[in-house]
Chains A and B, each alone.
Chain A
């Protein structure tokens, strides 16, 4: 009668969920069998060899010492099997599919903010299409949070220091929990929400409801507002590096190392421009630390990303001195 109140695991709402549950069930069976075996053996021995009479000593008997080798080697082999299986899943989850839909998340005491490439913003609710990989790029505005989708069997800590990514592919439509899993202060248990998994057509319809323009175009407006364009003129005359075609490339730095222009590099170069200065440029850019919200950073990032496929009109100053 109460069975419905005793779920043993949540619905398998992502492609990853069944893989995790299979390992879980395997581990329950193996460790359960070993544990029950140990318990029954202990119980059997403790009753069969119980003390009688009161001052009885134990029998002089030593079990064969080969047993030691057996219970060192056999568990080790089983452990290695579990290790390989668990690592395989972990690697699978670390590799984000190329065709994943880009969504951005910001954790903040005590809410989740999501931004879609088309410009929609939502708080504590995330709309995603079913059967399509979704990549979430996320950062925190304050303390460490952890974005947890129990029905998708995945979570990742959200850091204030840098972007992290996670991905999932929902395989059934519906409404599923979002929790914050890393303790973050007073309303930690209130930092919750829902992920709404929709049919692709419905998702498109939902996206069309947006009015503010795409994330990249919102980023472009900020680019103008913060007067970034006065130096990043996107031709060889600018005092700042050309941003066209920059995203994803290797950048030569003033200390003769190179760095890949990924999300975290763009973020750091806005917040702390002097940290990794591109070769051939003066350290004249002001810091935007504390002046720009995570959401604005994401918009700018989306804008810089949108320039990735464009080619600079003049020889790219930014790759000057890059190893060929």
Chain B
């Protein structure tokens, strides 16, 4: 019975006709759109360009690091490249990638809403992002910046001769884009849910976006304050951080990490939400321990504010404060562990499909687990003394940010691509890309754990000869990874014109976004949906969807 209904749902809804793409034409209809779906497409294009740019800097670094001596790039160029790689990837890719692209598109659909609560503010967020990106590009064209993405003082305020002001100003503007997106999401989730869509019926992607939005709203202003203080000290010499002027360089680090540690949860929480939705869809099963997974997002958002000084264990803080921050850092690992175990348990007696989004998410769980447990190494105080500021840290955060966030983003974009474009991508190529990304990623970053433990410091343009073998492995992996990332760009774009029509619900997934046509009409739903089932409740929702089809 239920399987027959499922089949009906999959075949129906292939209707072509009015949708958000063909509703209006012309550049102005895009640049002045208030439609969350079109804004998501604007973000998709601009964030993807920034990803390619950040990837270019990474590739140049990896090629430079093939040999111990500095040869391809000068020291100054290398320093600028790792700085720009960090700035571009963090502020212009990882922070917006899942919320601003997938969240923007999917959140109102999952809520059964016509749009976000403040469509004009949503468009403003994109313009702020573009303004920040423009300032960033002007900086790059004019010679770049060499402080590292962390802008540590007094190097950034007194010693660097590069464009520190422009770069921090770009980060300052990008922050407001992020604040407004977070604010918009919070109001939307509170006020715009469809009738019957109670909090515990929300997909876990919504819970994750909610938790991340709280962090965006509360932490990002501190970044803005910190960067303004830095700009003031650099330009007119007010001594906040420079000891020669009576300031304290550690104050800068405290303030910077008060934002930048929670910021890693802005990057990973939405990715975890994607993971939950994809696991449910490709196991056709309710996520085990739904409430634990939902609340673990909030727990991570809360605890994430209390661990910032674990970036400073060797920076000169007192042993007692180091101990407290270490203690809390172990506790922020618990809710992440809860999620991993719950995703695993969901697979038990499930109907597991190995389609592309699920392949990415299985990879995500594995890589995120490695990224998570290596965080324990860094939280262990005595061990952190040795591995701090080495490649061990570089490997750890790439496992979380790239193995976690980027893998989950790729899962999400493949999962929702049929909804966004109404087209299917070529499955074989997509699976090949997923495999290449997984293999290439591990080959790139696993050697860096070993490299860090044998003592290679990060941000080194030239290095001791005994580190070469591991660096060559890492660069080889990066080239595989680059192919893995380029493939989706090619076949996804190809599919917009040549992919076969996806239909309403190609995966047989539950969730309100799958009840409307693909691509959705401008107003998302022809009539406001009424929700009578829990999230991921396959039997109930299949029944409801089947009935609505038969009407």
Listed in ascending order, the chain A residues whose CB lies under 8 Å from chain B are: 2, 5-10, 19-20, 23-24, 27, 31, 34-35, 38-39, 41-42, 45-47, 49-51, 53, 55-63, 65, 67-68, 71-72, 75-76, 79-80, 82-83, 85-94, 109, 142-144, 146, 148, 150-151, 153-157, 159-162, 164, 177, 179-190, 192, 289-290
Contact = CB atoms under 8 A, between A and B. Distances in A.
Given A75-B333, A156-B316, A62 B288 contact: yes
B314 A157 contact: yes
5 contacts: A31-B374, A38-B340, A45-B344, A144-B315, A160-B244
B338 interface: yes
Contacts of A192: 464
A257 to B, nearest CB: 19
B299 to A, nearest CB: 11
A157 B315 contact: yes
A289 B369 CA distance: 50
Given A109-B159, A159-B249, A148 B457 contact: yes
Given A20-B383, A46-B352, A189-B462, A41 B376 contact: no
Interface string B347-370: 111111110000000100110011
B155 interface: yes
Nearest to B2: A57
B457 A71 contact: no
A79 B331 contact: yes
Chain B CB count within 10 A is highest, among A39, A86, A162, A187, for: A86
Contacts of A80: 330
Given A8-B453, A49-B348, A157-B316, A186 B382 contact: no
B369 A38 contact: yes
Given A7-B466, A79-B334, A143 B455 contact: no
A57 B469 CA distance: 48
Label chain B's interface by main secondary structure: helix
B159 A143 contact: yes
Contacts of B249: 144, 159-161
Nearest to A67: B345
A183 B459 contact: yes
B41 interface: no
B454 to A, nearest CB: 5
Contacts of A160: 154, 243-244, 249
A31 B457 CA distance: 24
Given A67-B345, A154-B386, A182-B389, A49 B351 contact: yes
B539 interface: yes
B486 interface: no
B344 A65 contact: no
Contact of A49 (B147, B244, B347, B366): B347
Contacts of A185: 79, 146, 155, 159-160
B122 to A, nearest CB: 36
Interface string B263-290: 0000000000000000000011100110
B326 interface: yes
A279 to B, nearest CB: 23
A89 B75 contact: no
Contact of A45 (B155, B348, B459, B468): B348
Interface of B: 2-3, 6-7, 10, 70, 75-76, 79, 146-148, 152, 154-155, 158-160, 243-244, 248-250, 283-285, 288-289, 292, 313-316, 319, 322-323, 326-327, 330-331, 333-334, 337-338, 340-342, 344-345, 347-354, 362, 365-366, 369-370, 373-374, 376-377, 379-386, 388-390, 450, 453-455, 457-464, 466, 468-470, 508, 538-539, 542
B345 to A, nearest CB: 5
Contacts of B351: 49, 51, 56-59
Given A88-B382, A91-B319, 20 more contacts: A2-B469, A27-B373, A31-B377, A35-B373, A38-B340, A38-B365, A42-B362, A51-B352, A56-B351, A57-B542, A67-B345, A83-B327, A89-B383, A90-B313, A90-B382, A148-B455, A160-B154, A162-B316, A183-B152, A289-B244
A85 B326 CA distance: 12
Nearest to B242: A160
A150 to B, nearest CB: 3
A85 B382 contact: yes
Nearest to B248: A161
B152 A144 contact: yes
Nearest to B74: A186
Given A157-B315, A189-B463, A50 B370 contact: no
A51 B353 contact: yes
Contacts of B147: 183
Nearest to B9: A55
B388 A24 contact: no
Contacts of B370: 35
Contact of A7 (B381, B454, B462): B454
Contact of B459 (A23, A148, A188): A188
Given A55-B508, A188-B459, A181 B390 contact: yes
A155 B386 contact: yes
A87 B323 CA distance: 7
Contact of B455 (A68, A87, A150, A156): A150
A187 B350 CA distance: 55
A308 B454 CA distance: 42
A189 B379 CA distance: 26
Contacts of A53: 3
Contacts of A31: 373-374, 376-377
A176 B342 CA distance: 46
Contacts of B322: 90
Contacts of A91: 319
A8 B382 contact: no
A90 B10 CA distance: 59
A24 B450 CA distance: 12
Given A57-B539, A93-B385, A75 B334 contact: yes
B202 to A, nearest CB: 20
A45 B353 CA distance: 11
A61 B347 CA distance: 11
B458 to A, nearest CB: 8
A146 B385 contact: no
B151 to A, nearest CB: 11
A155 B152 contact: no
The 7 closest A-B pairs by CB, nearest first: A89-B382, A150-B455, A86-B380, A161-B243, A90-B381, A45-B347, A31-B373
Contacts of B342: 68
B337 A75 contact: yes
Contacts of A35: 366, 369-370, 373
Contact of A189 (B70, B250, B345): B70
